[in-house]
Amino acid sequence: MNDMETNIPIIDTQNLTSITQIRESKENRWNSQGINIPLSKTVEVHLSEIVNAHIRRAKQINLSQFTIFLSVTNIITIGDLGRLISPELKVVCEQFLDELNLSKATLQRKRASIKVWFNFLHFNFPKLITFVPKLNSEKYKLIRNKGVTPALDLEQWFKLKQALGKSKNNPRLLVLCQCALLLGGRRISELLNLRWKDIDFDKQTVKIIPSKKGPDETIYHLPLTSQLKCILQEYLETLGGIDVDDYLFPVSPQAVDESLKRYGIRIGLGKISFHTLRSTFITLANKRGDTQSEIMNATLHKSTQMVRYYDRTSEIKTNSINKMGNV
């Protein structure tokens, strides 16, 4: 054993809980300590870096499924994974995705989780995980029909509000929808990540951590309108005692999306979602004559292209059907 090996710090592979421990092991990737780090522990560390709780939970499910699948084929540690060559690893990953028999949208999310995790491993253990497998993106690509996100007009929105207001089974859903619309068309993941400490009733602001973060991972403070302030204060009174760290809406995104879809169908609005409310906010803002800058400040979009994608008014105004005349 040479002098370098005698100075290697011992890593507790069973209790690897911090990113520091993994990064401290970077100089020792070829020794048995680095090689024997369980993949499940690297997942824990990787997830600990994700701020958004709902994104973290979704990735936890995806990566737990994947590491269990790997363990069945005796791929348990970083060393086991690092011994696979590129074609073998690609086959293993695609076999996992194919056997799930899920929709392309779900497979696309799982593929993305796996890719980001491999990037994490390659960054921290480049001598063991020497490459990131290139999965067939076309195979799992979700073909989106541009412009399919509907928008509600004011009459339809009031109809939805009235229906949700009468609901005794799901009283949170109305407040959730009002928050979505009155906070700039917020995504469901952003709303479900809100805690009471993020609401400042005195300064009338709401702290938002975008679910689609840029490289700077900025935290935003959006205005809390007088209308929404009253709505949240009334909602707070119905909850009784709460802690500032409590979530405003302790429900799953799947449950509220399904509930909203059912209500939409029941009252004749079709299959609506929280993306419908995002599109509604942008469309109503454009009808009012708000500037693109004002809208982007509310929706937190980075480009005017995405604002136009959600705006349904432009589809009517710039349509060649208007030029047909009497034929």
What residues does each domain of the chain span?
A: 10-124, 154-317
Q: How far apart are the first and last CA of the chain?
A: 90
What is the maximal distance between C-alpha atoms in the chain?
91
Res 313: pLDDT: 44
Nearest to 273 by CA among 176, 197, 198, 182: 176
Range with the poorest average pLDDT among 96-105, 151-160, 234-243: 96-105
Question: For 159, phi and psi rounded to 5 degrees?
Answer: -65, -45
pLDDT at 149: 64
**The pTM is what?**
0.52
pLDDT tens profile 247-260: 999 888 888 888 99
User: Which segment of 48-52, 148-152, 278-282 scores lowest on mean pLDDT?
Assistant: 148-152
| Confidence band for 66, pLDDT divided at 50, 70 and 90 | very high
> Which 8-state DSSP code applies to residue 198?
G
Cα–Cα nearest to 56, from 125, 117, 97: 117
pLDDT at 109 over 80: yes
Mean pLDDT of 214-230: 79
What's the pLDDT score for residue 28? 45
Cα–Cα distance list, 118 to 9, 65, 78, 89, 215 (Å)? 25, 15, 11, 11, 18
pLDDT at 325 over 50: no
What is the per-residue pLDDT for 67?
92
List the single range of 25-29, 68-72, 231-235 with lowest mean pLDDT: 25-29
Q: Name the CATH topology of 154-317.
A: hpI Integrase; Chain A (1.10.443)
Do 217 and 170 form a contact (C-beta atoms < 8 A)?
no
Neighbours of 278 (CB within 10 A): 22
Checking if the pLDDT of 305 tops 80, the result is no
In the prediction, which pLDDT does 95 show? 85
pLDDT single digits (tens) 251-299: 888 888 889 999 999 999 988 999 899 889 888 888 888 887 788 888 8
Tokens describing residue 115: 């890719």
